[in-house]
Amino acid sequence: MMISVKMQKALNAQIGMEFAAAMKYDAMAAHFEAEALPQAAKRFFKQAGEEREHAHKFLRYVLDSGGRVQIPEIPAQPHTYRSSEAAAQAALDSEMAVTKSIHKLMDLALEERDHATAAMLQWFITEQVEEISSADQFLRLIQRAGEKNILAVEDYLADTAGQK
């Protein structure tokens, strides 16, 4: 096995965290869909897919490194939010938690002089900069519009779809 037992355990925990994030984003998407906000729903369904891809990247890495994948139990995620802003804040909080976890993985890789894992994690560190920026921008957009003008956010999302 190319990775330590400690690293394998930490990576398996990260796989669970990524799958939990995917479930959280699917639940947010369903919430926005139920609130007749299809553009916001589309944004979160897309984000859920990206989080599943991240989980699979970690999963593949553990397997390719000769480790064993053990996906931890994933707790139920919130499925309703008191406001669009609360959902957007939860998304940003989630990205901040994932980033902190990935940084801890990098600390462990460096501590163990596990260069292969450190190299793999560099992609995630860079990706999290974009993830936090996107979540923060969405939250600020909702805050500027206010809940009464949430349809303006929908219009903005529709107008900018496909521009990134």
Which pLDDT tens digit goes with each residue over 46-80? 999 999 999 999 999 999 999 999 999 999 989 89
Which pLDDT tens digit goes with each residue over 128-154? 999 999 999 999 999 999 999 999 999
Report pTM. 0.93
For 5-158, CATH number out of 3.10.20.30, 3.40.50.720, 1.10.1240.10, 1.20.1260.10 equals 1.20.1260.10
- Output the 3-class SS for the chain: CCCCHHHHHHHHHHHHHHHHHHHHHHHHHHHHHHCCCHHHHHHHHHHHHHHHHHHHHHHHHHHHCCCCCCCCCCCCCCCCCCCHHHHHHHHHHHHHHHHHHHHHHHHHHHHCCCHHHHHHHHHHHHHHHHHHHHHHHHHHHHHHHCHHHHHHHHHHHHHHCCCC
pLDDT confidence of residue 79: 87
Above 90 in pLDDT, residue 161?
no
